[in-house]
Amino acid sequence: MVGCPEELARAFPDHLHEGKVNLKDLLPSELEAFVRLLGQSPYRARQLIRWLYVRRVGAFADMTDLSRAFRELLEAVAVLPSLHLASPQESLQDTTKFLFTLPDGNPIESVRMRYLEHLGPGRLAVCLSSQVGCAMGCEFCASGKLGLVRNLQAWEMVDQVLAIQRRVDARGERVANVVFMGIGEPLHNFRNLLRAIRILNHGDGLGIGMRHIAISTSGVVPAIRRLAEKRLPLKLAISLHATRDELRDRLMPVNRRWNLAELLASCREYQAATGRRMTFEYVMLDGVNDSLEEADRLVELLGGLRSLVNLIPWNPVDHPSFRRSSKIRVRAFQERVQQGGLRCTVRREKGSDIDAACGQLRLREIRRNVGAAPRAENTPAFSAGG
Ligand code: SF4
């Protein structure tokens, strides 16, 4: 039989959900292959894309320009899972943090930001999670405390955008920017990350431009090189946070595997391949990395790179070792970096009033449900993803 469940399962073994093909996890080209296997014209794939990502329906029954017979066939062989929205938390500062529950019960979180200066009216940015938990173990991060549970599938990343977009559709607002800066090391989930980006970017669907998609990494050097080889105009942000290996080794264990010299070399390769300016995130920790000497070293380290340094006021989690740098110290650091010839901004604080430090909302939810807490896998911490 054309398109029998066994044949479809063989064709899409990595994209099954409850034994059926998960259409939301397929790339547009794979959707075309899927409809062909069902004996349909490729045009049906474009119709499905529009229903899923433009009209954003959640059930085959709502796809009213498809024949009843085709919809019944889809019901029999395919599924459209979705994330469950557990709690939106409104912030005082135009930031909304969402806690989602995945089909397997794991919680993840996303953040919606509106009124960012560079976006313009009605255009929003969302910050997505790419993993359940994180293996990278950064000293200052709530997510790092729980370890990695699993990678998110591509559809689980895209569905964060769809769920948020649906909530703002009535206001005529549009998610225009996506940043993979939530929970997880996105380059640790390389294959699914790129699949999610291709789905978000597709012109018949959400149409979010590659230049409006940013990936933030702790510094997984082989994956940065691999991403450079793809020559996609994606924005890459490096969580730097230190200018000496000795300190970075302590703050970010990834540095023990790939030190600052290797990291900066991979950034130069990325810039040469994509032409994109690099962003360096630098969290300001009082008395740890916020001296003027550190500012000078930062200028030296980034010499020759077209870059933006983004200083992040420390957003305290329950970590007794770190304190927030004073505004005076942050300002002095910023001026010193600017005097060195680099662009340097201070991140406007969005959401510190709503547990918006990375992973805090998820951490709180897990603590509330003690006993249901996910167990971290023994996944190698520094693989470059699939
Ligand atoms: S800061 Fe990012 S990379 Fe580091 S542990 Fe947290 S989520 Fe992972």
Q: What is the pLDDT of residues 267-301, one digit of tens each?
A: 999 999 999 999 999 999 999 999 999 999 999 99
Q: How confident is the model at residue 123 (pLDDT cuts 50, 70, 90)?
A: confident
The answer to whether the beta carbons of residues 214 and 235 sit under 8 Å apart is: yes
pLDDT band at 313 (very low <50, low <70, confident <90, very high): confident
pLDDT over 90 (residue 315): no
- Euclidean distance between CA atoms 121 and 135, whole angstroms: 37
Closest by alpha carbon to 299, among 346, 255, 254, 343?
Answer: 343
Residues 291, 227 within the same domain: yes
CA of 87: how far to CAs of 77, 110, 180, in Å?
32, 11, 20
Q: Which atom of ligand 1 is nearest to the CA of 218?
A: 3
What is the residue with the minimal CA distance to atom 3 of ligand 1?
A: 185
pLDDT for 86 equals 85
Q: What is the pLDDT of residues 49-84, one digit of tens each?
A: 999 999 999 999 999 999 999 999 999 999 999 999
Residue 378 lies in a domain: no
- Residue 267 appears among annotated catalytic residues: no
> Where residue 348 falls among pLDDT bands split at 50, 70, 90?
confident
Residue 384 lies in a domain: no
Crossing angle for the helix pair 221-230 and 260-274, nearest 10 degrees?
10
What's the 36 CA to ligand 1 centre distance in angstroms? 41
Half-sphere exposure of 335 (CA within 13 A, CB side): 6
Phi-psi label, residue 231: left if phi above 0, alpha if psi -120 to 50, beta otherwise:
left
Is 65 exposed, middle or buried (CB count within 10 Å of its CB: 0-12, 13-18, 19+)? exposed
Judgement on whether residues 203 and 292 belong to the same structural domain of the protein: yes
In a domain, 357, yes or no: yes
Residue 373 lies inside a defined structural domain of this protein: no
Pocket lining: 143 vs ligand 1, CB cutoff 6 Å: yes
- Nearest-atom index, ligand 1, CA of 183: 7
Closest CA to 306 of 338, 346, 339, 278: 278
| Half-sphere CA count of 316, side-chain side, radius 13 A | 9
67 lies in the same domain as 89: no
Statement: residue 118 has pLDDT above 70: no
Q: Write down the catalytic residue from 32, 109, 156, 185.
A: 109
Q: Are strands 20-22 and 78-79 parallel, antiparallel or unpaired?
A: parallel
Structure confidence at residue 47 (pLDDT): 97
d(CA 136, ligand 1 centre) in Å: 6
- Asked if 130 and 223 sit in the same domain, the reply is yes
Catalytic-role residue among 134, 138, 267, 358: 358
The rounded distance, in Å, linking the Cα atoms of 326 and 290 is 10
* Residue 9 and residue 148 share a domain: no
Q: 134 with 60, same domain?
A: no
State the pairing for strand pair 107-113/123-127. antiparallel
CATH at residue 229: 3.20.20.70
Ligand 1, closest atom to CA 137? 5
Q: Are residues 143 and 71 in the same domain?
A: no
Computed over its alpha carbons, how large is the radius of gyration of the chain? 22
My answer on whether 35 and 107 are in the same domain is: no
Characterize the bridge pairing of strands 16-17 and 148-151: unpaired
Same-domain pairing of 205 and 275: yes
Closest CA to 258 of 359, 136, 145, 342: 136
142 CA from centroid of ligand 1 (Å): 8
Q: Is residue 256 part of a domain?
A: yes
Q: Which atom of ligand 1 is nearest to the CA of 185?
A: 3
Pair (279, 295) in one structural domain: yes
Judged against a pLDDT cut of 70, whether residue 136 lies above it is answered with yes
Domain boundary among 35, 57, 79: 79
**Which runs of E-coded beta strand occur in 159-230?**
174-180, 213-217
347 in a domain, yes or no?
A: yes
Of 23, 53, 79, the position where a domain reaches its end is 79
Q: Which structure tokens are listed for 377?
A: 């896998």
Q: What is the average pLDDT across 332-351?
A: 88
Instruction: Indicate if ligand 1 lies below 6 Å from the C-beta of 138.
Output: yes
**Is 131 near ligand 1, meaning CB less than 6 Å away?**
no
Tell me: do 139 and 173 sit in the same domain: yes
Domain count for the chain, please give it.
Answer: 2
Give the structural domain span for 34. 5-79
Mean of per-residue pLDDT scores for the chain: 87
Mutate which of 143, 193, 255, 361 to test ligand 1's pocket (most atoms within 8 Å of Cβ)? 143
Residue 222: band (very low, low, confident or very high) from pLDDT cuts 50, 70, 90: very high
Task: Note whether residue 380 is domain-resident.
Answer: no
Is 38 found in the same domain as 152?
no
Residue 236 lies in a domain: yes
| String of DSSP letters for 232-260 | ---EEEEE---SSHHHHHHH-THHHHS-H
- CA–centroid distance, 359 to ligand 1, in Å, is 9
Surface-to-core class of residue 129, CB atoms within 10 Å of its CB (0-12 exposed, 13-18 middle, 19+ buried): buried
- For position 52, which CATH number holds? 1.10.150.530
Of 79, 98, 125, the residue at which a domain comes to its end is 79
- Name which residue sits closest to atom 4 of ligand 1, judged by CA: 138
C-alpha 72/C-alpha 62 separation (Å) is 12
**Is 109 annotated in the active site?**
yes
